[in-house]
Structure 1
């Protein structure tokens, strides 16, 4: 997988890729091009009209011609304003559609990235890319090209008119043009580099903010607001320093170009004034020539600004493309209409990126329609083993088989639809109870929803709520208690009716009475299903067909509860620790 530095491309390559991907707007681009051409020609013709006003109307006291030329000026300005208004609307339309399409691509991408990606990259950095960097797509797809085209047209027209009005002044003025171009190219490259660094620092602020919001209860309970605030200020200072550094480069670029053009104007006014006094040049021509110099300067300044903005925007889009180019979960592979639930691990080893071995030489066989309990101390690798069954990570060695087929050969999308999961901290969307349940079965009726809620002991409670099934559960379900969240997650799995059920500390927040109710439910509702559970409360695993004990990433004991209790000292110690906790 390429790092962000290895993924770096030239700004022109990034822009070309973006335009190719948005070629559906080519007809609108053509319309914008025509509008830009007409408006540029209109505004560029004004100095010539002013020249005629001075030389032919004012100096010759021709009032009728003066009135006609003023009407012409008014008409030019009026048509220009109307065309600019229409052009701005079209640019907004194209830009916002391009942003929406790109945003949707990014959203689909983050849904398809493997779990390992999120282990390596902070959520704040990803959000910063999606919300902070995405807005430049509007500028690049609907404005940059046409604004640049307008300025290039203005420069070409200005140069042509300067040569037409007086070739002597033109040759003198042209000497400094290459210097302006060289300054522009130098600072443009530097600013792109600084912008990439700025975006990286800005991601740190997003991450710090997100962590503080998610962990606000812990921060307040531990009295760590000063510590968190200090970290945030540190990130903020880094961003400010980088912004100031970037601003200095921009100021230097503008100052260098401004100095060139001011010098150009001084020479033009001095030499042109001499020509006027010697009747070698008319006053109107000199004013028109210097107006075109100012337009040339203005266009060069604006074009250089667009060049700098393009470098900044290219840096942002490059960050977006880096995210889009990350390898997604494969949708290819064999699809199974139904799972028997036969799970086999054969000499499986696994470690998280940059860490020591987590699981080593794991071998076991889970037969269909059986219940297997995985036990062990915290950090022994139990939850990691469940993640491997779900295909969240590729194994470093060995093979995992589902119904005799290598997991790597199966379509993960198809597989996961047939696996139901209840975790210790189940996830819920900021939505209603109904919407969170219907995630697994969109067509489920209210009767079906209340039926599964009754089975887990939540039916009566939901009916008593003022809004019933339409009650909001809060962000990540935090308006519910821990036990209610686990019961609601279990009711969702019942509604899903999967072929394999994975329970990761699914009763951690339940009292003994509720736990017994869930155990009866597992025996009745999920009879004939393959159940794999992780539990610290060994009372949940008494009736399991098979118990697998993990210790330091290895299987240290395997068999029924009775067999392990009679033969395994480690299992006995684990069981006695729980018994002593309640005596």
Structure 2
């Protein structure tokens, strides 16, 4: 009987699967079997176990004939007991070998998925930031989890099913023809009839299940929207309780009707299946009776019973092999999806002769005719030229979307330039060892990310061997230690998923402390205070300002005082440096910066020094 779960279990391909049916090539199969190759010895054992198990599973059917002919009809108690015990022993042996086969299958499948997950994770870790910003996160997780987990099902189910069912059929046919070739042919002619009700009922239930799934999705959508805190509040405020109930009741009623139709489809399937399953044995009994009574005196009741039993054993394997094409296509499609990710080129990687300079880096940065785009028809940065000397500070300002964050992301090679070059201490960053480069660059971003753990664990992410004194000193410099001291468990306070147990300002200051533990040669502050209240902002600003004066730094500025502290200000507009200079020079020039100053820094004239324009994603 076909599974009732959903379309994927019905033995039929969806229209989308038919349309996107993978092209099975020799190279694809070779690549798939390359994952099996390290475990060829275990696979050989599985094959031997399947052969023995399939053969032993059919033996009780053969022994049934002996029990009838030599035990019951022959009236021999000794033979009756012997064949019964032998049949039980064979069944037990087949089951034990089956357990061993399942263990081996599971062991092989688990190790192959272990290898694939490790390889996939390692590969994805090497992908550039572009990959993660342009691909759906859910799709990435799906490839890592359910797709690779599906490989396990392919090995434990699809491959072994093909082997087991094929061997069972072959052995059954051999035994049947040895018993009586005429009755064997009668049995073979009947077997295809068994597949008719299965296929017909499968199509019906597949169609109904598709509707049920769509209906279920609609019900879940209503529940998710109206039972959430925000949704329920909206329903109450607009007095829509009755309308939402009527909508839910209508969909729920449709689901009930579909469930009844599906249940009845299953009932008619069982009626048809039972009828067709009875035809085969009846025909063998009829043909056997004719042979016994009129033509073949050597044919016994036991022989006929054996043939009927073996015919029953063939129904399952035949049906599964008829549907194996669907499983095979889906298996190939799954491998193709996984290999698509494996084949994605690594954009950002070490040069074969990557340089790891000795000595303490200065943190000097130079942009030479730098250009960058995500898509060729949309240039983000163009002809960017500037240099930052050791110990100096540059501020970068400009409207939202002008390319400020993209510019600083080119320094640690989160992206690679599409034109020109970025130099770190006089060396093109593409020639430097990636680990070395990123070790000496610290970035405090607008969106702070903390792992679900303690404050200590999040800090140690930057320097796993940091001492307690180093942790405390970093926290003091980041202006967060006073808060930590007030916590019952201090540095061992759990921050929650993405740091949700902390305020935005607390998270940001912890992220500053984490960067400080790296002791980077270059500090980059990318809108570090843009989304915070004035009190949190002031605390972070108090932590940032001393760092600016003591380290080489780049600021995507948000406060006027920060901009004034910079040695040079770069104004980015439409992907180019439209203006550069000190605050006073730019204000007097009457250009873009002057306009920003008049409109965005207006509160500075009344005692506030906050840069008021809203920053978004760059």
TM-score bracket for this pair, using the shorter chain length: 0.7 to 0.9
* CA-atom RMSD in angstroms: 4.4
Change (3 A) 1:320 1:435: same
Specify the alignment match of 1:139 in structure 2.
153
Compare 533-542 and 89-98 and name the one that shifted more. 89-98
Specify the alignment match of 1:443 in structure 2.
465
* 3-state secondary structure, aligned to 2:410: helix
1:267-306 deviation digits (Å, cap 9, x = unpaired): 5444333213325232221221232222223222233455
Change (3 A) 1:6 1:91: closer
Q: Distance in 1 between matches of 2:442 and 2:398?
A: 22
Change (3 A) 1:45 1:175: same
Compare 55-64 and 337-346 and name the one that shifted more. 337-346
Compare 58-67 and 481-490 and name the one that shifted more. 58-67
Q: Distance in 2 between matches of 1:224 and 1:363?
A: 58
* 3-state secondary structure, aligned to 1:395: coil
Equivalent of 2:546 in 481, 500, 521? 521
1:421-480 deviation digits (Å, cap 9, x = unpaired): 101111111111111111111000111101111112211221221111111111111221
Compare 510-519 and 80-89 and name the one that shifted more. 510-519
Change (3 A) 1:131 1:577: same
Specify the alignment match of 1:117 in structure 2.
131
Change (3 A) 1:505 1:89: same
Structure 1: any 5+ residue segments left out of the alignment?
Answer: none
Change (3 A) 1:568 1:404: farther
Change (3 A) 1:283 1:8: same
Q: Distance in 2 between matches of 1:289 and 1:517?
A: 90
Structure 2: any 5+ residue segments left out of the alignment?
Answer: 1-16, 239-243, 607-618
Does 2:79 match 1:65?
A: yes
Does 2:434 match 1:412?
A: yes
Compare 173-182 and 332-341 and name the one that shifted more. 173-182
Specify the alignment match of 1:43 in structure 2.
57
Change (3 A) 1:417 1:305: farther
Specify the alignment match of 2:588 in structure 1.
566
Specify the alignment match of 1:99 in structure 2.
113
Q: Distance in 1 between matches of 2:364 and 2:237?
A: 50
Q: Distance in 1 between matches of 2:123 and 2:494?
A: 28
Does 2:167 match 1:167?
A: no
Specify the alignment match of 2:306 in structure 1.
288
Specify the alignment match of 1:271 in structure 2.
287
8 Å CA contact 2:166–2:317 kept in 1: the answer is yes
* 3-state secondary structure, aligned to 1:490: helix
Q: TM-score, normalised by structure 1?
A: 0.81
Specify the alignment match of 1:317 in structure 2.
335
Q: Distance in 1 between matches of 2:186 and 2:93?
A: 35
Does 2:67 match 1:53?
A: yes
* 3-state secondary structure, aligned to 2:601: helix
Q: Distance in 1 between matches of 2:156 and 2:486?
A: 54
Specify the alignment match of 2:611 in structure 1.
none
Q: Distance in 1 between matches of 2:481 and 2:82?
A: 84
Matched ranges for 1:418-497 at <5 A: 418-497=440-519
Q: Distance in 2 between matches of 1:88 and 1:110?
A: 32
Q: Distance in 2 between matches of 1:33 and 1:553?
A: 63
Q: TM-score, normalised by structure 2?
A: 0.77
* 3-state secondary structure, aligned to 1:45: helix
Specify the alignment match of 1:76 in structure 2.
90
Compare 253-262 and 389-398 and name the one that shifted more. 253-262
Q: Distance in 2 between matches of 1:90 and 1:326?
A: 33
Change (3 A) 1:218 1:316: farther
Does 2:584 match 1:557?
A: no
* 3-state secondary structure, aligned to 2:555: strand
